[in-house]
Structure 1
Amino acid sequence: MNQPEQIHEIGPMPTSAEMRALPRIGRILIEDGAITLDQLHVALRRQTASSERLLLGELLLNMKLVDTTTMLKAVARSLEIHFIADPSEGADAAVMKLLPEAMRREHRIVPLRLEQDTLVVATADPQNDHVRELAQRECGKRVRFVASPGDSLDAMLSNVVTEGAVQEKAQEIVNEMLDESRGGNYTLQEKQIDEMMGGSDSDDMGPVVKLVNFAICSAVEEGASDIHIEPDDGKMRVRFRIDGVLSNRMSPPWRMNAAISSRIKIMAHMDISERRIPQDGEISVRVNGRPIDLRVSTLPGKFGEKIVMRIVDSSGAQLGLEKLGFRSTMLDKFQKVIEQPYGIILVTGPTGSGKSTTLYSVLNNFDRTTINVSTVEDPVESNIEGVHQAQINPKAGFTFASALRSLLRQDPDVIMVGEIRDSETAQIAVQAALTGHVVLSTLHTNDAPSAITRLGNLGVENFLIAASLRGVLAQRLVRRICSSCAVARALDESQKTAMGIYAYQPGTPMKGVGCRKCRETGLKGRLGLYELMVPDEKMNDLLCGTCDPALIRNLLREQGFESLWDDGMQKVLTGMTTPEEVHDACRH
């Protein structure tokens, strides 16, 4: 029986003469330290003995001596071309159209940029001269390959369409609507719309259905939080709110407003004939297999009904606290607060500051198999496994206060109240916290210390606040610097002075120069700014006395309390966000 050839992991460096005798790709891999001479000799013997005529690179991959990225780098060196790990960086979306989409997908190639009369194209197979010749004939220009990993190319090829492509596709659908309307009034009744759309699963959907579906899918894929459909004087616009900023995406003709409005009302189970009063509804859809809920609100106006659809993605409720942008010291401190056996924990901030996401992340932090976790919300924003979630219905008399009373008879361990809005709810929440329950809720205050004043204004006695309050987390959301186009940023002395930058740990501020991934904004995604107030014995003494807000703030400063601004500046100096974002967030 033949013994398998042993592949040695180490060996002496080959001599110059030995190196010159080796295949170029093997020589490069040895120079890079990817393989040894012994390993290459084994591969060459197998190549000679094989009847399959495998290329040396394929054989080394099959033997698992190198990975695909290492091999591609070596191939790029052998061809004397560039290797680009992330081809999306610096890619020019405008040149993408120089090669047809079918060709790009079939041959796994991505046009990146034009350099004079040469089209630079990323490929995972840079040795394929046939594909390069096809591309040259198609675009009428010289094509130069650069090597990029296949998964990076796949991500670009399947990536969300750009803003221009969204508008282009929307315009195609609008043109179809115009053709079908034949210049007439496009105000349709429910029966006509049903006939036109043919059901959401039909392959022959009408253009109104296509436009609405396209708007929803595009918004979800782009990570939008809201869709705004706004009629104006003789025109319409569709805007997406992405990372807190509204931007225009589509401009259907104004006369399409009634048809689009009726389609959305049908989906949201609203009365399509009622245009005089506001309506609310919900839509549940699946986008690329993801369950998405949309909360729909209509508002009559001078030029027609404005519609806003809030996108609720259940995956947001599954975020852990570590994904929200806490610095490690702040996260450790907050973890200790939520591990308290009883008491009330408040999250404060203006609307849209991420309070609900933080509360859901806290709920996910609990072991829900051994304790009873219940919520009272308005509305239930995301489903959480193992949590009983109740939605209030004020019209039926089911308010936060009445729901909380009933919930206390359900043997709860942890209670989340969506918002403390009135005195009755505040009183019950504090009593629940004092009787052995962990109570989580939100308040609308600008900072953490103001939560104490707000509870007092709601009629909660100072000594009860001192006995029940375990912590207050105030927060804001700011946009992140895009990691794909981030570069170091120099700050002048006036900026450093204005920021008070010398009071913080030194670091390197960054900025995004703009790329395709961030739609040339330099910013992509959001993170939280936080300040955490944890009452101690000294503060409780103040609470039981005069409860003067100024004295509380002075005490916090003496104790080294880190404000929202402080947290923001630390994140500027670690390259996570910009001074402008922090300034705008902390003005509120």
Structure 2
Amino acid sequence: MAATVVTAQVFEPQLRQRGAVLEKLRDRRLVDEAAIARSELVATRTGQPIELVLNQLGALPDDDLVSVYSEVVGCPVWDPEKTPFIADLSELGVSAEYLRRARLLPLKSPNSSLLIAVADPLDDEALSGLVFATGKPVSIQVARPSDLRRGFDLAFGPLENTPVTADQRRLDREVDLISDNAVEGGGARLVQSVFEAAIAVGASDIHFEPRRHDLRIRLRVDGRLLDHQVVSADLAAPAVSRVKVIANLNLGERRLPQDGRTTFIVNGKQVDVRVATSPTVFGESAVLRILDRATVPLDLNAMGLSDYLKACLTQAARSPHGIFFVTGPTGSGKTTTLYGLLQTFAKSDRKVLSVEDPVEYHFEHVTQTQVAPALGLTFAAALRSFLRQDPDVILVGEIRDPETAAVAIQAAMTGHFVLASVHANDALSVLPRLQDMGVEPYQLAAGFRGVVAQRLVRRLCPHCRREEETSQAVTLACQAAGLPAPTKTFAALGCEHCKGVGFRGRIPIGEGFLANEAILRAVAEHRSLADVGVIARQEGLTSMMADGLEKIARGVTTFDEVVAAVHG
């Protein structure tokens, strides 16, 4: 696609093309009418085009914006790796401040014309000003706003710190967010840059940790905490304050922990974030949990579960009543699996309620409640109220105490289907764990439908994994599990795709079973856990280690990862 050429003499009104951009966004359902209506109000106050307002408010991703711009205007999309910017502006006769304000980044400057990356290819005023200032015709390429911001920072350095005036009303916050005059300070820029880096590497958490002489920032990637950046101590308070402002926390309270929720905008997309602050001896620390649904597949078929476990979960979801458990330690993916089960009810006519602590992802087809113990809204209290709301399916985020266990079992025995998580070492251990919380064997026999236990292991990077001979440890483990030893396994190496780690993403390993008549009879008769285990294995229960070994044989993960997850 040839670059669009602009001269000082020819500039036609672009209103028709702006209308075409908005029409294509509507036709392709890239934005909804509510977002457009909101953006029109902000655009009126700021003078910005509606499509750019939609992008800056997180309603229109960068890729969708530049794709429509490119199609309407007929210009290519800028690739920063193929076409670098010009850092020396001496030949152009324009300042970096002018270019940043006009959102024009020079790429190439041949004798006859100038190639420019632009955020808004329909901005006649900015382009004509540049043509006039340089005396050269201009060829343009449309740039993703995030690429343009990074290009400016690399070419000309970050903006100087300028204080931002806070405004509590939603419209004014949105106007301030996209206004050219609202230049954020060092703490705000640090938070935004760290968040963008966290999204780029697929981090689940960001840790701001103040120390005596500096602020350490770490990212949790695939379950491991990695050092990201160390900055001067004078940025610690501004960075945490910025986090508290956008999460609507009390800025004046620094002595007590606080929790909140907010939304960051990265590459034109909204990403939900859960925020927790805590006082330390060197100032407040903050941890941001990234709740990006784009990186978390809430589809049972896309989670990497074994065929047997998927069959257990799918069959359990068809139960008209009873209780089904998902178990595992903190960080084992229990909530994701439960949410995957909730997603199976998306197009059904069943009423679905959930009580969680906290609510991590929002669903249109689920009425979700977050517990508030300080107000008396506990899991048990919420469950009791649910029973009066005519539910078909109830999700209990976690059964922690006898009271919650009793109400959950009661709901399962009175015609409701209950999904719940509970802490236990493995699938079979859920039964004695519930009995320890006061659930009687006859109640379990009446309501228990099955259980899945799981852990998460890191997935080998498919681009750089290295083939190696099967070790003796793997062979012995396979023999103990009654499985044939694989002829080859793979090890982590490290490349640019996985940032040199050798792993990219995580995958669950697990075990589980559905309760049949024989298992329920054994539970009702107070049979030992070993006896119940024998019956469960006859019905298909395989160990978590066996599931892990099967993934090792397929080159999905390593033996060390599986051993650490199962026995660590």
> Does TM, scored on the shorter chain, surpass 0.5?
yes
Q: Percent identity?
A: 38
State the Cα distance separating 1:407 from its structure 2 match.
Answer: 1.2
Structure 1 segment 145-184 matched on structure 2, within 5 A: none
**1:172-227 deviation per Cα after TM superposition (whole angstroms, max 9, x unaligned):** 76x967xx9xxxxxxx99989xxxxx943344322221111111122123211100
Residue matched to 1:261: 240
Q: Would you say 1:201 and 2:178 are equivalent positions?
A: yes
Q: 1:265 to 1:228 in 2, by over 3 A?
A: same
Q: Which amino acid aligns with 1:423?
A: P
Contact kept? 2:201, 2:221, Cα under 8 Å: yes
Q: Would you say 1:283 and 2:283 are equivalent positions?
A: no
Residue of 233, 239, 242 corresponding to 2:218: 239
Q: Secondary structure at the match of 2:178?
A: coil
CA distance in 1, matches of 2:555, 2:269: 32
State the Cα distance separating 1:577 from its structure 2 match.
Answer: 0.8
Q: Secondary structure at the match of 1:314?
A: coil
Q: Which amino acid aligns with 1:446?
A: N
Residue matched to 1:549: 529
Residue matched to 2:411: 432
Residue of 96, 105, 111 corresponding to 2:82: 105
Q: Secondary structure at the match of 2:374?
A: helix
Q: Which amino acid aligns with 2:456?
A: L
CA distance in 1, matches of 2:463, 2:514: 37
Residue matched to 1:28: none
TM-score, length-scaled by structure 1: 0.66
Q: Would you say 1:574 and 2:554 are equivalent positions?
A: yes
State the Cα distance separating 1:420 from its structure 2 match.
Answer: 1.1
State the Cα distance separating 1:369 from its structure 2 match.
Answer: 4.0
Contact kept? 1:317, 1:382, Cα under 8 Å: no
State the Cα distance separating 1:452 from its structure 2 match.
Answer: 0.7
Q: Which amino acid aligns with 1:200?
A: L
Q: Which amino acid aligns with 2:369?
A: A
Residue matched to 2:120: none
Q: 1:190 to 1:584 in 2, by over 3 A?
A: farther
Contact kept? 1:295, 1:309, Cα under 8 Å: yes
Residue matched to 2:325: 346
CA distance in 2, matches of 1:515, 1:317: 23
Q: Secondary structure at the match of 2:316?
A: helix
Contact kept? 1:505, 1:570, Cα under 8 Å: no
CA distance in 1, matches of 2:432, 2:179: 57
State the Cα distance separating 1:555 from its structure 2 match.
Answer: 3.9
Contact kept? 2:261, 2:273, Cα under 8 Å: yes
Q: Which amino acid aligns with 1:387?
A: V
Q: Secondary structure at the match of 1:551?
A: helix
Q: Which amino acid aligns with 1:212?
A: V
State the Cα distance separating 1:367 from its structure 2 match.
Answer: 4.8
Residue of 526, 542, 563 corresponding to 1:583: 563
Q: Secondary structure at the match of 2:491?
A: strand
TM-score, length-scaled by structure 2: 0.68
Residue of 459, 462, 476 corresponding to 1:483: 462
State the Cα distance separating 1:296 from its structure 2 match.
Answer: 1.0
Q: Which amino acid aligns with 1:489?
A: E
CA distance in 1, matches of 2:231, 2:524: 61
Residue of 484, 487, 490 corresponding to 1:510: 490
Residue matched to 2:511: 531
CA distance in 1, matches of 2:468, 2:309: 26
State the Cα distance separating 1:436 from its structure 2 match.
Answer: 1.6
Q: 1:448 to 1:103 in 2, by over 3 A?
A: closer
Q: Secondary structure at the match of 1:539?
A: helix
Q: Which amino acid aligns with 1:434?
A: M
How many equivalent residue pairs?
Answer: 424
Q: 1:455 to 1:494 in 2, by over 3 A?
A: closer
Q: Which amino acid aligns with 2:558?
A: T
Contact kept? 1:284, 1:294, Cα under 8 Å: yes
**1:257-314 deviation per Cα after TM superposition (whole angstroms, max 9, x unaligned):** 1111211111111122222121112112232233211111111112222111111123
CA distance in 2, matches of 1:574, 1:312: 30
**1:514-548 deviation per Cα after TM superposition (whole angstroms, max 9, x unaligned):** 11010111110111111112222332222112343
Q: 1:523 to 1:435 in 2, by over 3 A?
A: same
Q: 1:394 to 1:227 in 2, by over 3 A?
A: same
Query: What's the RMSD between the two structures over aligned residues?
Result: 3.4
CA distance in 2, matches of 1:105, 1:375: 49
State the Cα distance separating 1:332 from its structure 2 match.
Answer: 2.1
Deviates more, 1:457-466 or 1:502-511: 502-511
State the Cα distance separating 1:255 from its structure 2 match.
Answer: 2.2
Q: Would you say 1:460 and 2:436 are equivalent positions?
A: no
Residue matched to 2:520: 540
Q: 1:559 to 1:191 in 2, by over 3 A?
A: closer
Contact kept? 1:349, 1:355, Cα under 8 Å: yes
CA distance in 2, matches of 1:243, 1:324: 15
State the Cα distance separating 1:556 from its structure 2 match.
Answer: 3.6
Contact kept? 2:387, 2:411, Cα under 8 Å: yes
**1:381-423 deviation per Cα after TM superposition (whole angstroms, max 9, x unaligned):** 1111222112222222222112111111221111111111221
Q: 1:107 to 1:205 in 2, by over 3 A?
A: closer
**1:33-90 deviation per Cα after TM superposition (whole angstroms, max 9, x unaligned):** xxxxxxxxxxxxxxxxxxxxxxxxxxxxxxxxxxxxxxxxxxxxxxxxxxxxxxxxxx
CA distance in 1, matches of 2:442, 2:295: 37
Q: 1:394 to 1:324 in 2, by over 3 A?
A: same
Q: 1:289 to 1:408 in 2, by over 3 A?
A: farther
**1:222-241 deviation per Cα after TM superposition (whole angstroms, max 9, x unaligned):** 21110000012212211111
Q: Which amino acid aligns with 2:557?
A: T
Q: Which amino acid aligns with 2:507?
A: L
Q: Secondary structure at the match of 2:291?
A: strand
**1:306-330 deviation per Cα after TM superposition (whole angstroms, max 9, x unaligned):** 1111111234666210111112233
Contact kept? 1:190, 1:272, Cα under 8 Å: no
Q: 1:328 to 1:290 in 2, by over 3 A?
A: same
State the Cα distance separating 1:380 from its structure 2 match.
Answer: 1.5
CA distance in 2, matches of 1:348, 1:462: 19
Q: 1:500 to 1:329 in 2, by over 3 A?
A: same
CA distance in 1, matches of 2:80, 2:423: 54
Residue matched to 1:398: 377
Structure 1's unaligned 5+ residue stretches are 1-100, 109-130, 132-156, 181-187, 193-197
Pick the structure with greater CA Rg.
Answer: 1
Q: 1:521 to 1:501 in 2, by over 3 A?
A: farther
State the Cα distance separating 1:557 from its structure 2 match.
Answer: 4.5
CA distance in 2, matches of 1:574, 1:232: 44
Q: Would you say 1:296 and 2:256 are equivalent positions?
A: no
Residue of 546, 564, 581 corresponding to 2:544: 564
Residue matched to 1:116: none
Residue matched to 1:384: 363
Deviates more, 1:357-366 or 1:314-323: 314-323
Residue matched to 1:45: none
Q: Which amino acid aligns with 1:358?
A: T
**1:341-371 deviation per Cα after TM superposition (whole angstroms, max 9, x unaligned):** 2110100011111111111110111254422
Q: Which amino acid aligns with 1:410?
A: Q
Residue matched to 1:522: 502
CA distance in 2, matches of 1:227, 1:256: 16
CA distance in 2, matches of 1:551, 1:346: 20
**1:530-574 deviation per Cα after TM superposition (whole angstroms, max 9, x unaligned):** 111222233222211234333333444555521111111111111
